[in-house]
Amino acid sequence: MIKVKIDTKEIFHVIYFEEKELTANMAEELNLLVANVQEAENKSLIFNMKNVEVLSTEFAQKLNEIRLELNAQNKSFVICEISSGVREILKHLEDFESINITPTESEAWDIVQMEEIERELGMDLE
């Protein structure tokens, strides 16, 4: 199983990846992890990837699928603290520009909170 730590806040979960390498065979494990976290409380997600040095294309695609699923549920998805190598892999995704990526976790929190306020006010996030 993927080694992670999970910090649950009022409107979101922060998932800290403790692996240096996230491989293709971990992509399905990510699905299970997210399903288990969301089963308890369906919230927005922040993925803190400060420890990740290598990211497989398949894992990157799974991240994007999770982003799309959360967006369909009116939830936010933010990735923070990524290395330049991980950023390069993510750049190859078809809709890379649509992924919220922040340099710090604090900024990720801000995005999730702002998007939540926008949803409460009925504003269109697109």
pTM value is: 0.92
Locate the domains of the chain by residue range. Answer: 4-120
Q: What is the pLDDT of residues 34-90, one digit of tens each?
A: 999 999 899 999 999 999 999 999 999 999 999 999 999 999 999 999 999 999 999
Residues 6+ apart with CB under 8 A from 91: none
The percentage of the chain sitting over the pLDDT mark of 70, rounded to a whole number, equals: 97
**DSSP symbols for the chain:** ---EEEEE-SSEEEEEE--SEE-GGGHHHHHHHHHHHHHH---EEEEE-TT--EE-HHHHHHHHHHHHHHHHTT--EEEES--HHHHHHHHTSTTGGGSEEESSHHHHHHHHHHHHHHHHTT----
Residue with tokens 């497989």: 56
In CATH, what number does 4-120 get? 3.30.750.24
Q: What is the pLDDT of residues 74-103, one digit of tens each?
A: 999 999 999 999 999 999 888 888 999 999
